[in-house]
Each structure stands twice: as structure tokens, then as C-alpha cells.
Amino acid sequence: MTKTLQKNIRVLPDQWDRIEAAANERDLTANQLLVELAMEALDRREWPQTEAQLQVARASLFAAQAIALDMIAAGRQNQVDKIREYVATIVPNLVPEPAATEEISSGKRDSGPGIA
């Protein structure tokens, strides 16, 4: 049996209720869920390491959205679709659904993040 340590943390009652509810959905104890989430966060905290990196990533998504909308407006939807497919192979579930064509042709543009 693995040797464990007993540590105490302080949480608000409503926070603990949320933790317990999430743990129950996963057939874990609240403590197990907290440890798993903490370890996952530590394992994946490589990037972005700074607020500047996060802002650059957001700006890149905004620029990609603007470029894609201009390409669609110029009749280059097929190229946007190819780019979207390629990006989806690198980062699955990141690329949202394509913007509606009538929104582009009417001049209405979504300023949200993502690629058209």
C-alpha cells in the first residue's frame, strides 16, 4: 500500500460542495479529485508561463479570425476550410464551426476568438 501524507487545506463551504459534487460524478472522493486536478495542473503548466505569452496567444487568435473573415469575404472559403482542417489535426476540438456565409456577405462580423 502506498504511504500517504495527511495535509489540511481550507476551503469555503460552497467550494467544498462543488468539489464533492464533481468528485461524485467521477466516482472519486473529494480529496482524490483535488489531488488529481492539482497534479494535472502541475504537469500541464509549461505554457503559457507568463501573462505576456497568454496575451500573444489571444492576439494571434484574433488576427487569425480577422484574416479568415477577409479571406471568406474575398471568396476564398475553400482555403479557409483547408487551414481549419489542418489546424484541427494539430489541436483537436479547438477550431469552432465555420462562420455563416450570410453573416460575412452582409458585413456582420464576429469579433470573438477562433478561426472563422
Q: How far apart are CA 97 and CA 100, in angstroms?
A: 9
* pLDDT score recorded for residue 111: 46
Residue 89's pLDDT band, with cuts at 50, 70 and 90, is confident
- Residue % of the chain over a pLDDT of 70: 77
Mean pLDDT of 31-39: 91
pLDDT per residue as tens digits for the range 54-86: 888 889 888 988 999 999 999 999 999 988 888
More confident: 58 or 92: 58
31: pLDDT strictly greater than 50? yes
- Tell me how far CA of residue 37 lies from CA of 10, 23, 34, 67, in angstroms: 16, 11, 5, 37
Residue among 3, 10, 115, 31 at smallest CA distance from 68: 115
Q: How far apart are CA 67 and CA 78, in angstroms?
A: 14
Residue 27 cell numbers, joined: 466516482
Mean pLDDT of the chain: 80
Decide: pTM greater than 0.75.
no
More confident: 1 or 36: 36
